[in-house]
Structure 1
Amino acid sequence: MEPREDDTVSDESLMADAAAGDRKAFGTLTRRHMRRSLALAQRVVGNASDAEEIVQDAFLQIWANADRWRGDGTRFTTWLYRIVVNRSIDYRRRRSFAPLDAAEEIVDPAWSAETLIDGRRIGAEVDAAIAALPERQRAALSLCYHEEMTCAEASEVLQVSVSAMESLLVRARRVVRARLQPLIRQKDGVRP
């Protein structure tokens, strides 16, 4: 078979070829979706090196089970993201992680120290609010906001109804907003 690097070839077509044993088609799928899969896994587990391990495991699982690909109207990315999210949640449950704020950031000389400190503090508060969410709510936020999936697409990934997905998002936003209210009031100059 000839390599199919053409971006016009659909993921589903490539997956069908991979299911028939075409390693090059699977390589194309992997290259296409590696970056976004890594970003999704990192947002769920909060650690880049763990995300790499999760995504590598997810793609190995997909290759090993390629013959199970249905191709019955389900998008490949829905199947892929479902595997990545499930692996991430399982991985996070098995391990404890060091806080992300332990990592050093590169300082941009164009920003003032005060702006950097404010940005870090706000970023840490937002990260903490999201990290405190239950895993499914965190995954729902990540799929809909970072991966820009519709509620229907995200509901397929998490294997819940659309109304359940909407409920996960509403609860997640409500909890994050409530946790950030003191910070918002302080930023607006209102004392708590």
Structure 2
Amino acid sequence: MTPPSSSSQARDADADLLARYAAGDDAAARQLTQRLAPRVFAHAVRVLGDRAEAEDVTQEALMRLWKIAPKWDAGRAQASTWLYRVTANLCTDRLRRQTHADIDAVAAPADPAAPAPARMLDSARHDALQAALLRLPERQRQAVVLRHIEGLANPEIAEILDVGIAAVESLTARGKRALAADLAGQKDALGYTDD
């Protein structure tokens, strides 16, 4: 018998924490929030390009998780997958309401230990990627962010986006090609010298 994988252990731990919260254990909710909120927030920031909007989405997604906790069926879905799907839907709703995205409002993460030129280059790369991501069609953006930034597998992305695996592969491939084409003219300015 093979030992359980770390992802199945995490899934079981998430389900256990959700069940404990539903039974009245507030500490379990705090633990589950500490496990899942940073990932949800990071995904929302990348999709929306706005930290304040991403905080709102993260809070709303977690509130929905707490509301469904008493009815949760651990065999039906993973808590993290369900939460990513809710986050994706909330991001889509917000994007549909926006007239435009203000990429200048997104603060680039800075490493205080890095020298100023390196921080400036990192910031330029981050801003260029974020701007290019925001120019992608929304479904392609969701697929690229979930696959290549969040590191999720195609079956999990398919469940989150409610599409088939072939559609995820297509969305991801088209998104990557569009990003490459969009950023190709900026290689020198962003300090990339290789192909």
TM-score, normalised with respect to structure 1: 0.80
1:41 alignment partner, one of 30, 41, 44: 44
1:15 Cα shift? 1.7
C-alpha RMSD of matched pairs (Å): 2.9
1:112 Cα shift? 5.8
Alpha carbons of 1:123 and 1:56: their partners in 2 closer, same or farther (altered >3 Å)?
Answer: closer
Q: Distance in 2 between matches of 1:65 and 1:56?
A: 14
Equivalent position amino acid for 1:183 in 2 = Q
1:44 Cα shift? 1.0
Q: Distance in 1 between matches of 2:115 and 2:177?
A: 32
Give the unaligned 5+ runs of structure 2.
1-9
Tell me if structure 1 keeps the 8 A contact 2:45–2:54: yes
Q: Does 1:164 align with 2:167?
A: yes
Residues 8-157 of structure 1: pairs in structure 2 closer than 5 A: 10-95=13-98, 96-100=100-104, 103=107, 111=115, 113=117, 117-157=120-160
Tell me if structure 1 keeps the 8 A contact 2:49–2:106: no
Identical amino acids, percent of aligned pairs: 32
Give the unaligned 5+ runs of structure 1.
1-6
Cα distance per residue 1:61-106 (max 9 Å; x no partner)? 1112223322125211101111111111211222344223674875
Q: Distance in 2 between matches of 1:15 and 1:76?
A: 8
Greater Cα radius of gyration, structure 1 or 2: 1
Cα distance per residue 1:41-61 (max 9 Å; x no partner)? 111111111111111111111
Alpha carbons of 1:68 and 1:94: their partners in 2 closer, same or farther (altered >3 Å)?
Answer: farther
Alpha carbons of 1:180 and 1:78: their partners in 2 closer, same or farther (altered >3 Å)?
Answer: same
1:151 Cα shift? 0.7
- Count of residues paired in the alignment: 182
Partner of 1:131, secondary structure, is helix
Alpha carbons of 1:117 and 1:153: their partners in 2 closer, same or farther (altered >3 Å)?
Answer: same
Partner of 2:185, secondary structure, is helix
Partner of 1:71, secondary structure, is coil
Partner of 1:184, secondary structure, is coil
Q: Distance in 2 between matches of 1:8 and 1:92?
A: 30
**Moved segments of 4+, more than 6 Å:** none
Residue 7 (structure 2) aligns with:
none
Q: Distance in 2 between matches of 1:159 and 1:105?
A: 32
